[in-house]
Structure 1
């Protein structure tokens, strides 16, 4: 009996205390340059993103833990991962949370962003929207960017690396010209650098021209959906 009591006492003495890491506020640490280097947003850009995501994340919170990661820090953790592509250890050490927490946070923030995509990535579809954009976008590009008339958007593709994914039998089609596995994603932005269209379904070996030709936007151009009457001649707008 005495030996059992001594075992319990010693076990309690050796039990590791719960340690809460210091979670700093990046706004207290970084100026615009340092903030952009770590999160790919300036301080003003971070405030814009936080104002959108924090209310949505607050609605998702279903934890009663006394030291839970707040929604603001969750956004910083996710953007650190998106901007650097580093392993979870980097985000863990940088923000004072565990690697498993970083993993869970990235999933929650990513799911929230996906749900909000249609509120912020908008391509005109109705006749009224198309008519408004035909007048607005070319004027903005001419005034703000390149002085090139009748441009409505800037389009390009970028490769997003895939790592340890289940490629299946068609693994080879995901290998791009640079030799690594990826998805080739097409983006279109307006003159104010707002993304207005995304195509993210083609494997890395797909050429950029094939993506635009088979996209809804490319097919709309082939049908002449973005043509308009200009006095007696039909003139097109460019992307």
Structure 2
């Protein structure tokens, strides 16, 4: 996934004129394929493909009508091509092995693939079920579940729950929890005391009694600082998550997911933590 580049002009007209226009190739791959190639890449014959386009036309048509908008057939082609491809199990296993190795080398805890926690995104209380969105600190929010990896990349996010929901409920109600429970997804997560101990979720020990137990607890706390630091970074970079997100819960959740995607893009691009101006004062904690 490529980030859009932000280009800042310096105001000199002459310099602007010297930048050549770039014309993109408008050829659509699905228009040049043979029937056999088309079926292989897009999983349907041409007539059925275009019937699907007709069924989705009104939902996918851009209201702006700009030439730069992606045509409906292109959107359908991209979606089917993506769905037709599958991430190879070997690739997933390789990524999991790398994550386990990274966590073990740094913190000495085997089998860890990610760190789980929740953070509250302040919102305006909705008209329906308003009381469900009041969290324990007495403001309206979404309780957003997040899993990050060793590098701080967000690997899972859930924005489905109101502020009154407990962290463990956010996780236990998820598809990911069910997959981990039945062994469909391999690996172990690190959580805090809010989560129940599971074969696939480790947490700090209550009242460590031996030097080994104390060492383990220190390692868990140190590793968990990755996700705590991540929450601070993403809220400082995207002020809409730091103050009050003035949208309904579903849209606020979508905005949160978009910010998480942008955070991952920044990590991939090795962006420095330069957020411009600091966030405005907020009555809501980071």
Q: TM-score, normalised by structure 2?
A: 0.36
- Indicate the structure (1 or 2) with the bigger Cα radius of gyration: 1
Report which of the two has the higher share of helix.
1
Q: Which has the higher contact order (CA 8 A, sep 6+)?
A: 2
